[in-house]
Structure 1
């Protein structure tokens, strides 16, 4: 589970509620059922009108991406692609056919199948790039849903406040109750602005970040698959794929390369002796 997303939302809520209570506010002043219904119900309804049901059904997948992302093991994937490059270089690409059926990653599975089928390298690149573009577009569509909710929520808050003020102004017989009633009316604005800036817009931003990471990871696998198809040297394949890694992952890869180089040197010296 992504701790930063959960802790970030909790920290924002704690800061807002803590500041309100610090100034002498009371819990009761933040809980208004009518405002909750207007803001969150109205926001959901507006989003439902804006997008087809097929996209709305992707919301659970979007939230899973935000809170529980499938973090790829980049060094392990590079090791695997290098191993496949070694097999293809020694035995030919047809030797990879046994690796296709049981592979857990659909992108690599499709890519290896294209390679084994003898597809033209340029056409192979185009097919795999279409898959990457499809993933990027799907995640972009998911982020737009929450971005739209972030735009509707403050407006729904204002609508709730105006409706509350209409109710207040229609009952002026008791001037002493005007202050508390107006405060309750403005609770809807608080709900709308807070939900947009704490929940909807940050979630949309996080989905876009996840999309960028996924695209980068798939582009790395694309280059690895094409290098396997071209029969490139496994050592060069590793160096090429390492360029896609983040800084902390690159240090691990360099250590691995150094250890492998050291092992190869020892084996060479042993053979010479």
Structure 2
């Protein structure tokens, strides 16, 4: 669990509700179903229109990374690559075949197979770079689901405010209904701006941070395999890879 994310979310809610209480306002005024429907459901609809459904679903699944990001594998990967380099240096590249069935990561399997098949460092770099770029592109497309939500939510908040004001104008002759319309107008704006800047955009940035780390882990494997292909000493490979940490 990422305690920083949890603390940040609690502080965001506390800041808004606490500020409302300090001004003498009622917290219950924020509970406006109409404003919630306009902003949240409207933002959901806009994001669904913006992205293909598989990308949208992947982005939704990634939301958990804001609070429970995947563990770092960098140190374990360095140890694994160094082990591969020792094996290749002592017994040749063909001896790496025993590691193919020991890893489930398709990226590592591809790199090992190319190395076993005798690919030189340049071809190895070209092939693995394409896979790294493809992986990063797919991951960032999913992260942009939350960036898009952060862009649409304030606009939907303004739309909710306009709808609320229209409701106010329709009931100028009935003062008892003016309060509801004004509340929806301003609360919708709070929902839109608040969700965008305190939830959606922070989640997007936390996901991108995790993606950058996962890309770096693939670069560790790529760099290590290239070092093996070039016949570098395992100690040199290890020292270079530790720079990623």
- Identify the TM-score tier after normalising by the shorter chain: over 0.9
Deviation at 1:6, TM superposition (A): 2.4
**How far apart in 2 are the matches of 1:213 and 1:22?**
41
Find the counterpart in structure 1 of residue 178 from structure 2. Answer: 178
Deviation at 1:184, TM superposition (A): 3.3
Unaligned runs of 5+ in 1: 246-273
Contact residue 78 and residue 241 of structure 2 kept, 8 A: yes
Moved over 3 A (4+): 174-181
Deviation at 1:179, TM superposition (A): 4.5
**How far apart in 2 are the matches of 1:198 and 1:12?**
6
Deviation at 1:73, TM superposition (A): 3.0
Deviation at 1:72, TM superposition (A): 2.0
Contact residue 168 and residue 181 of structure 2 kept, 8 A: yes
- SS for the counterpart of 2:102 is coil
**How far apart in 1 are the matches of 2:50 and 2:176?**
42
**How far apart in 2 are the matches of 1:172 and 1:107?**
65
Deviation at 1:132, TM superposition (A): 0.7
Find the counterpart in structure 1 of residue 160 from structure 2. Answer: 160
1:242 aligns with 2:242: yes
- 1:224-263 CA distance string (max 9 Å, x none): 1111222221111111111111xxxxxxxxxxxxxxxxxx
- Residues 197-236 of structure 1: matches in 2 within 5 Å? 197-236=197-236
- 1:61-113 CA distance string (max 9 Å, x none): 32133332222232222122111111110011111101111213332222111
What RMSD in Å do the two structures reach over aligned CA positions? 1.7
**How far apart in 2 are the matches of 1:3 and 1:134?**
31
**How far apart in 2 are the matches of 1:62 and 1:228?**
34
Deviation at 1:3, TM superposition (A): 2.2
1:195 aligns with 2:187: no
Deviation at 1:170, TM superposition (A): 1.0
**How far apart in 2 are the matches of 1:194 and 1:37?**
15
What TM-score results when the alignment is normalised by the length of structure 1? 0.84
